[in-house]
Amino acid sequence: MPNALASRSMSQLSSRIEAILYLKAQPLTIAKIAEYAGCERDEAEEGLLDLMSDYAHRDSALEVVETPEGYCLQLRESFHDLVQTLIPVDLGVGALRTLAVIALKGSISQTDLVELRGSGAYQHVQELVSLGFVRKRRQSDGRSYWLQVTEKFYQYFQVDQLPQLPDLNTLKQGKQEPVQPLPSELADSES
């Protein structure tokens, strides 16, 4: 009977730790887990190991892992594609406009981009690169970067091809080139 009681108690502690990891949604140290669970550190360790073992044997989308910051409940890597599909990227208007310029130009130097969009473009580029929408490569003279959109951009925004903007020098001189019509699939979606 004492083993059954201890087993039930451990199961309850493991469930409590699972709830804590879920609710905090960030890595937690053993000390923090013990504090939130209202138990001793060694009990928290045992409950956490029980929980990790349980998740390791489940066919579940979630897992309990140890990170440098502590332990957390997270989505298994094999389900990360769902994050991209189901959770929209939160881009500000400025970053979206910067992304649009890069996409429509096809390839643009960071210097030209900053000239068009202002110094805030540096931060936008950093954000867009970290999200995987833009690729940056150093120019041969090493003074600036070439920027272009990645395959992820085309997949995420469901775009096959983009029209080109008028030449930058033409825009600077105030001359307008005729605007190319939108591809039929984009024109249909505008109405």
Q: What is the pLDDT of residues 10-62, one digit of tens each?
A: 789 999 999 999 888 888 999 999 999 999 999 999 999 999 999 999 888 89
Q: Which of 38-52, 67-81, 166-180 has the highest mean pLDDT?
A: 38-52
- 98, containing H or E segment: helix 93-105
With a cut of 50, say whether residue 190 has pLDDT above it: no
Q: Which residue has the tokens 């085309």?
A: 154
Cα(180)–Cα(187) distance, rounded to whole angstroms? 12
Cα(184)–Cα(30) distance, rounded to whole angstroms? 58
Q: Which residue has the tokens 């045992």?
A: 46
DSSP at 138: E
Cα(123)–Cα(102) distance, rounded to whole angstroms? 14
Structural domains present in the chain: 2-79 (1.10.10.10), 93-171 (1.10.10.10)
Q: Report yes or no: 147 and 125 within 8 Å, Cβ to Cβ.
A: yes
pTM for the full predicted model? 0.46
Distance, CA of 69 to chain centre: 19
